[in-house]
Structure 1
Amino acid sequence: MTEKIYDLHSHSTASDGTLTPTELVQRAAQQGINVLALTDHDSIAGLAEARMTANELGIEFINGVEISTEWENRGIHIVGLGFDETSPNLTALLHKQAETRHHRALAIAEKLEKVGVENAFEGAKNLANGEVTRAHYARYLVQIGKVSNEAQAFKKYLSQGKSCYVKSAWVDIPTAIQNIHQAGGLAVLAHPLRYTMTNRWLKRLIGEFKEWGGDGIEVAGAGQTVDQRQLLARWATEYDLLGSVGSDFHYPCGWIELGRSLWLPENVTPIWQALA
């Protein structure tokens, strides 16, 4: 029997992806994915549409969300999986996060105007289906010719320490975990090796995440080396965390694809065993 292909971290136009929830699921089907989670940033607006398409195409669909949190003055992402999307506590938390994101978007627009980019909020809003994110500003900066690609937009304007970066007061990690659990879901530390910190700090983050009740860690992701995946597998075992897999797909490109090479090392317990 062929093993199932899982992808438990993906984005649609409900946050900063470029494919609608329907288009995302259709692409997942084309890639042979059997189990998909849509994990938009602080939004569950795309779940109903994605689930309907998944049912039509015979894909098992898992409710997901990627919650922005703050830890030690750093932005950390916590993925929630398998929760009840009608949970009042989780819904209230995501509403608060949306308000925070909106205020941040307006502040970014003010900073962009100071460096000569006018009507940035309106331009980014036209590229967004929901809340405006830094990714939408990056796409707008490409559109108007300020930069040649989105990576350059972040490097020049939008990343921490750059002229148009705005820090947000996101929820803390324990609150995110608590709300995911109250909704019946599992909390996963997203893409640990993407945070710019030493292994010592990363292990502290993972240890505290576990102490606060975290359930899993993303072990398999896009663009990893074998050594990186084995390191994450070792930490998952060391901290008794379940292993998750996710491409963090946002848009079609050459280096990130839904479901591509998302295998788990044998010593890691898959998170889907706890989702079953």
Structure 2
Amino acid sequence: MDHLLNADLHCHSVVSDGTLTPEVLALRARDNGVELWALTDHDEIGGQDRAIAAACAAGLPYLTGTEISVTFAGETVHIVGLGFDHHDPALTEGLRQTRGGRGLRAQEMSEDLARAGIPGTYEGALKYVGNPELISRTHFARYMVEAGFCRDTPEVFRRYLTEGKPGFVPHRWASLRDAVGWITGAGGIAIIAHPARYGFSPNEEYALFTEFKAHGGQGVEVVTGAHSAAEALKYAGFCAEFDLLASRGSDFHSPDESHTDLGRLPHLPGPVTPVWERLRHRIHA
């Protein structure tokens, strides 16, 4: 396996905020030419057994995955974990506690939107939730489009649900130390997801990567649906600077919403060491 492998190691199912089941995602990945797949639901590993079974039935090599929300420098940063034991007790309990704050946050979002003249959003969002523990802004956005308050989900986020707008409620996530520790403690590799999305200053970004490395983080998403070609090259450079492995994933959520489909990404730019080179022993085949 090398950096030309069509690996897609970041996507979401109905177990968090995607619209497709793990079983449908496995077939979509295979049909799109994916050669190594991971399902990385937000703060959740409840879909892993289904994903493993579906991937194996489809003849698709598979790595366990999750995407953990952490708070760093006042921003929400996502850490992808790959190749871990998805029955590990510390990881399971850590994710359960992280999910626990979402329900209360959702109720506060709904109350704020009601004050802005948009009632019933919590109940509306629940119609789109496969897992009530993981109700999120995406579920609110889908309901608000269906109810006619906005044309599409990007408009919802522009007008509501982001900082300074009605419906935005911050949530205190896990710490960077916790998230990396849960993943590595379960035998996996921790990866900074889509780093170009966070809008950090150069100093803040350097602090993120330095602290991530200090806690045992080993990888960064170089190629992802949110990165331009120039950004992929930038973070390939970070791999050399911080001695990190390179990962690749579409961040696919839905056929109707996602810019990049499963398996439709550019290859990793060389010279980098792909994360899957260190996870061969963890692949379900």
CA distance in 1, matches of 2:227, 2:172: 30
1:94-134 deviation digits (Å, cap 9, x = unpaired): 11011111111111111111112222111101111012110
The answer on whether the counterparts of 2:196 and 2:227 sit within 8 Å (CA) in structure 1 is no
Corresponding position of 2:279: 275
Deviations 1:51-102 (A, max 9, x none): 1111111001111000000011110000011111111101111110111111
Summarize the alignment of residues 256-275 of structure 1 with structure 2, pairs less than 5 Å apart: 256-275=260-279
Give runs of aligned pairs for residues 66-145 of structure 1, distance below 5 A.
66-130=67-131, 131-145=134-148
Kindly provide the amino acid, as one letter, of the partner of residue 84 in structure 1: D
Structure 1 regions of 5+ residues with no counterpart?
Answer: none
Matches within 5 A, 1:183-202: 183-202=186-205
Aligned 8 A contact 1:7 1:262 in 2: no
1:244 maps to 2:242:
no
Q: Which residue of 1 aligns with 2:283?
A: none
1:223 CA drift (Å):
5.0
* Structure 2: distance between partners of 1:133 and 1:201: 26
Q: Residue 187 of structure 1 aligns to a residue in which SS?
A: strand
Contact 1:243 1:271 in 2 (8 A): yes
| Structure 1 SS opposite 2:63 | strand
Q: Specify the SS of the correspondent of 1:58.
A: coil
The amino acid across from 2:166 in the alignment is: S
| TM superposition shift of 1:268 | 0.8
Residue 243 of structure 1: how far off its partner (Å) = 0.4
Bigger CA drift: 261-270 or 124-133? Answer: 261-270
State the TM-score, normalized to the length of structure 1: 0.96
Query: Paired residue for 1:180?
Result: 183
CA RMSD of aligned residues (A): 1.5
- 1:229-264 Cα distance to aligned partner (Å, 9 max, x none): 111100111000100001000111473111212411
Q: Distance in 1 between matches of 2:24 and 2:93?
A: 28
SS at match of 1:243: strand
Aligned residue in 1 for 2:21: 20
Residue range with higher mean Cα deviation, 220-229 or 132-141: 220-229
Q: Which has the higher contact order (CA 8 A, sep 6+)?
A: 2
The code of the aligned residue for 2:156 comes to A
| Corresponding residue for residue 43 of structure 1 | 44
- CA drift of 1:47 comes to 1.2
Partner of residue 217 from structure 1, selected from 217, 220, 233: 220
- The answer (yes or no) to whether the contact 2:194–2:226 under 8 Å persists in 1 is no
Contact 2:41 2:65 in 1 (8 A): yes
Summarize the Cα distance change of 1:56–1:93 in structure 2 as closer, same or farther, 3 Å threshold: same
Q: Which runs of no fewer than 5 residues in structure 2 stay unpaired?
A: 281-285
Over residues 117-158 of structure 1, what are the superposed CA-to-partner deviations in whole Å (9 max), with x where a residue is unaligned?
A: 222111101111012110000001101000111011111111
Give distance in 2, aligned partners of 1:258 and 1:40.
15
User: How far apart in 2 are the matches of 1:255 and 1:75?
Assistant: 21
* Residue aligned with 2:118, SS: coil
